[in-house]
Amino acid sequence: MGGIGMGERQTFYQILGVPENAKPEEIRASYLAKARKLHPDNFRGAPKRDQARSEELMRELNQAWSTLSNKQKRSKYDLKIASQKSGNSSYASSNRTSYQEWTPEPTPKKTTPRYATKEEMELTWFAKLVKPLPLALILAAVVAVAVIASIGIDNNDGANKTIPVERPTDPVLGCMNRGTGSQGIRVQCVNGEFDATIYRIVSAGEECPNSLEAVYAGNGEMFCVFYEDKPS
């Protein structure tokens, strides 16, 4: 921007945003504030049009400061303004227009790319794998897995059960029938009319051999018995 602002162009005072009778310290303070805002370093990474606009306004600001900060240059500049005021009535209207603040477009924020987690990648891989398969085939596979798992659970339950498979060689101490509840009742071993054969009698809390089952006999004792046919 060269010379005096005329018509729609702004004066150096308007560029700095100060009145024509501003004191030197006012001019300096306004210049520093605007220079900090318009300095090109503030627009690194901004759109090119914003960078070019900031450089243009910074040049105008420096030219206004160079003139108004110098006492002799300012005096000559004021005389030119005064002479142009008397010869150009439109100056009065332009002089009422203050230096317009320019606001650049906001610089887009840089976003850090998000990478998929291992779990998400595995899930995506599985989805791509099963996508071409017919729905009926997928359902059949799910049912098959459920059946196999169920069989495995049943086998485990059976493995945890202790079922006597071999008759003990210990001497027979008597026979027993189940009474009310879980207590065993000692009976005579007659005509097979009994539930189990008693091979040992132990104190409550003791364990019976693996081939025998413990049945409470009362009085703090347990029958260690062998069932010919285990009752249901």
CATH topology of domain 12-95: Helix Hairpins (1.10.287)
> How is the chain split into domains, by residue range?
12-95, 174-227
pLDDT in tens, 21-78: 999 999 999 999 999 998 888 888 889 898 899 899 999 999 999 999 999 999 999 9
Query: What type of residue is 216?
Result: Y
pLDDT at 5: 36
Per-residue pLDDT of 87-138, as tens digits, reads 764 444 444 444 445 565 555 666 666 666 766 766 676 666 656 667 777 7
Token couple for 71? 């006492």
Residues 150-170: b if buried by 16+ CB within 10 A, e if exposed: eeeeeeeeeeeeeebeeebee
- What is 110-177 written as a DSSP string? P-PPPPPPHHHHHHHHHHHHHTTS-HHHHHHHHHHHHHHHHHHHHHHHHHH-----S---SPP-EEEE
Contact status, residue 31 vs residue 61, Cβ threshold 8 Å:
yes
In this predicted model, what pLDDT tens digit does every residue of 194-207 receive, in sequence order? 888 888 888 887 88
Backbone dihedral region for residue 191 (phi beyond 0: left; psi -120 to 50: alpha; all else: beta): left
- The reported pTM is 0.37
Give per-residue pLDDT as tens, 136-194.
Answer: 777 887 888 887 877 766 555 555 554 545 777 778 888 888 876 678 888 888 887 88
